[in-house]
Structure 1
């Protein structure tokens, strides 16, 4: 998903014909994109509807035409973010040769995660920064998508173990959560001024594989 969509504003009023429906869909998408941007920048607690409205170039009360509440809008962003991470990872893995070594697949997974959350998608950054801050009533749909992404990583580490390339003293489940925690945390500290993203990716690949392999 791209970070930005068109910034022209539309009125939030009932729309009946096909053209109006298209405008309504574009406005809804712009609200989602804007909410993702604000969440990625300010976090769950710091995200206000007014901030989202300003980012989307619409009046704040108009948001209620599209989403019943702030929580409903944020939940949609979180579900979209987790879904985007899963889809991006699946695409990355599918593009590798069928006989790719498990270590190469883990390297590709590291790059897929970091590029998506740091460079490509505010949705991905929003989910990695805020998934643990959501109130309980918002987590069911979000965590279903997050767990689907985690299952991909479970498979990657299990494949490494099956190839006898996982250290004997490493618990696969613990290793998976530590790797994902480190990948998610980069969204909290990395900025282009700290160095190119390629250096972050290369260093992370090296450290992850060094920690996992004998």
Structure 2
């Protein structure tokens, strides 16, 4: 199922044909880049996808690198805007872990089903030369700030496990979510299942409530015969 292009604001009355063509080129480049990667993206493929002649691309973008840089920046920027809008739409009394649940879902759905731009940005983040990553890195930092706030809010509310380091937790969660762009195939499983599984893993991995529930479920040891120091358990002996 082809992805939709990332959501765009309604066209202004003076929206020109040139602006629409530029957007079509960007959409095409995002589609190609998300599938073929930085090294495999050719302007001829972009032109074919956009249904224009390849030389016409240079009227809108001075080089292949400039076009790709724009796609990468747009991918992260629109993902951040999408996530912020989803979080802002939550009820005022939504708890920190509920907000993290929403962030997990919106991140996955945007990168896997809504936006070729986001998929391209995630899959090619480490492939671009440093000299064309400046805007992308700045936007990634802003996106990371959204997640930093989510984790910090959970910590302040006492909903984050005390044994977890917030920055490491954030980086591991985002790394796992981003990696879904590499392995998920809609023909092999529902996106809804991926979302539910990710939410459960994150909530039970980060949330203090899940740890408390697990502790309450542990069987009591009352009345059991304790092992003496002279008879260590099999696990200790086999260590």
Tell me if the contact between 1:3 and 1:120 (Cα under 8 Å) persists in the aligned partners.
yes
Tell me if the contact between 1:36 and 1:77 (Cα under 8 Å) persists in the aligned partners.
yes
1:174 paired with 2:168, answer yes
| CA distance in structure 1 between the aligned counterparts of 2:162 and 2:29, rounded to whole angstroms | 44
Q: How many residues align?
A: 201
Aligned mate of 2:193, from 195, 199, 206 = 199
1:58 paired with 2:48, answer no
1:184 paired with 2:184, answer no
2:17 paired residue number: 23
Unaligned runs of 5+ in 2: 8-12, 209-239
Unaligned runs of 5+ in 1: 6-17
**Paired residue secondary structure (1:74):** helix
Q: TM-score scaled to structure 1, two decimals?
A: 0.90
1:18-50 Cα deviation digits (max 9, x unpaired): 98x811111111100000001111111211111
Displacement over 6 Å in runs of 4+: none
Q: TM-score scaled to structure 2, two decimals?
A: 0.80
| CA distance in structure 2 between the aligned counterparts of 1:202 and 1:145, rounded to whole angstroms | 27
1:46 paired with 2:46, answer no
Aligned mate of 1:77, from 67, 71, 76 = 71
* TM superposition shift of 1:2: 3.4
2:221 paired residue number: none
* TM superposition shift of 1:3: 2.5
Bigger helix fraction: 1
Structure 1 residues 76-115: aligned runs within 5 Å: 76-115=70-109
Relative distance call for 1:130 and 1:106 in structure 2 (3 A) is same
* TM superposition shift of 1:184: 0.6
Tell me if the contact between 1:3 and 1:37 (Cα under 8 Å) persists in the aligned partners.
no
1:141 paired residue number: 135
* TM superposition shift of 1:206: 0.2
* TM superposition shift of 1:154: 0.2
RMSD: 1.8
| CA distance in structure 2 between the aligned counterparts of 1:178 and 1:54, rounded to whole angstroms | 38
